[in-house]
């Protein structure tokens, strides 16, 4: 029996398939199958007014679950004379669609831009919905490192992970990356209100944007600060967060701090800083004293700035140990 090399079999098979009638239609159908796989709609959530030009859809939870369908991060609308700018678009196509429905109850003005504060997917996967509604060329602003991360490993990781974490509720969401590079000091204008961008180095990630709504005295801080949620510090820096917080306060006339997780208000920086200092300072002291991480951990958990927040902070039990370890490691590096 004559045996052809496998490469010849593959070539011959491809030639046979190419000759089949209607193959182009079959290929097109196969390509489009993904478009029919889409998670269910996300229930409407109310708009909350934060300032004269600022409304948010506040997320009920701090982490993605099948029950919340990934609705874990606040979505912010800045509404001006010339249109609407969105600060963070949500964690899925479905969440973005819900956000657009709610926006339409507020104003018929078009969305003229999106700002993605960093590359974690709960802040940009909703870009898909806005691109479909307002055009693929809709300006989507982010720092260059954020755009590169989304076009790289972070994009596919967050897309697939959100589908898994929500038990397919976010299925159908595609990666729609930022398409406009932003920088510290940039301003966007909606005619009667300005958005000024701030970046001071690594805080929550290496490429966090905070967005000042200048005329309203509101600072959208993304994940640099949170309210009653323990921040993901895997890519971040405690010392960098302290520096960013100080410089945001010095460089702006902020009255309301608007985090992507939790409720906006004047007390957000104090809550976040006390918790982070309660984690980092005992670790730094342990490193200086030559004490092992086990002693640092005990000191952190006994610190009243930390112990007093355990019961009210989302994700506490599953995250506090890791973030003590990250603080200890950063203290070691700072002491080196």
Q: For the chain, what is the mean pLDDT?
A: 90
Q: Map out the domains of the chain with their CATH numbers.
A: 47-266 (3.60.15.10), 275-335 (no CATH)
Q: Using 50, 70 and 90 to split pLDDT, how confident is the model at 192?
A: very high
Contacts of 75 (CB under 8 A, 6+ apart): 56, 57, 59, 86, 87, 88, 89, 90, 95, 99, 126
Nearest-angstrom CA–CA distance, 316 and 38:
32
Q: How confident is the model at residue 37 (pLDDT cuts 50, 70, 90)?
A: confident
pLDDT over threshold 90, residue 25: no
List the single range of 82-91, 195-204, 314-323 with lowest mean pLDDT: 314-323
CA atoms within 13 A on the CB side of 302: 8
pLDDT of residue 32: 44
**More confident position, 141 or 36:** 141
Q: Where are the alpha helices (DSSP H) in the chain?
A: 6-19, 23-36, 93-104, 127-134, 144-151, 153-165, 238-250, 268-288, 293-302, 304-307, 316-335
Q: Give residue-wise pLDDT tens across range 211-265.
A: 999 999 999 999 999 999 987 899 999 999 999 999 999 999 999 999 999 999 9
**Cβ count within 10 A of residue 312:** 11
pLDDT tens-digit readout, 119-176: 999 999 999 999 999 999 999 999 999 999 999 999 999 999 999 999 999 999 999 9
> Which has more pLDDT, 317 or 113?
113
Yes or no: say if 307 and 274 are a contact pair by the CB < 8 Å rule.
no
pLDDT of residue 22: 52
């Amino acid at each position: 029996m004559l045996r052809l090399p496998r490469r010849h079999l593959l070539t011959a098979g491809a030639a046979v398939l190419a000759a089949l009638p209607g193959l182009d239609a079959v290929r097109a159908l196969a390509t489009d199958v993904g478009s029919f796989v889409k998670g269910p709609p996300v229930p409407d959530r109310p708009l909350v007014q934060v300032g004269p030009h600022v409304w948010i859809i506040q997320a009920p939870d701090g982490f993605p679950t099948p029950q919340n369908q990934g609705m874990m991060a606040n979505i912010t609308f800045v509404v001006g004379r010339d249109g609407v700018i969105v600060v963070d678009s949500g964690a899925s196509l479905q969440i973005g669609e819900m956000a657009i429905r709610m926006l339409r109850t507020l104003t018929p003005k078009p969305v003229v831009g999106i700002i993605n504060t960093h590359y974690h997917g709960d802040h940009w996967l909703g870009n898909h919905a806005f691109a479909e509604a307002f055009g693929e060329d809709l300006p989507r602003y982010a720092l260059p490192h954020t755009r590169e991360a989304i076009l790289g490993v972070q994009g596919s990781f967050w897309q697939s992970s959100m589908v898994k974490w929500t038990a397919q509720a976010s299925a159908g969401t595609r990666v729609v990356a930022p398409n406009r590079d932003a920088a510290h000091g940039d301003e966007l204008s909606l005619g009667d209100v300005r958005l000024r961008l701030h970046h001071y180095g690594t805080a929550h990630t290496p490429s966090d944007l905070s967005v000042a709504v200048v005329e309203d005295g509101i600072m959208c801080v993304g994940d640099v600060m949170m309210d009653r949620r323990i921040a993901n510090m895997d890519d971040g820096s405690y010392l960098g967060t302290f520096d960013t917080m100080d410089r945001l306060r010095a460089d702006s006339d902020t009255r309301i701090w608007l985090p992507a997780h939790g409720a906006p208000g004047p007390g957000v920086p104090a809550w976040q800083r006390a918790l982070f200092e309660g984690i980092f300072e005992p670790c730094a002291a342990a490193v200086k004293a030559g004490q092992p991480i086990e002693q640092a951990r005990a000191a952190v958990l006994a610190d009243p700035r930390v112990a007093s927040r355990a019961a009210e902070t989302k994700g506490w039990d599953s995250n506090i140990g890791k973030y003590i370890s990250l603080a200890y490691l950063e203290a070691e590096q700072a002491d080196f």
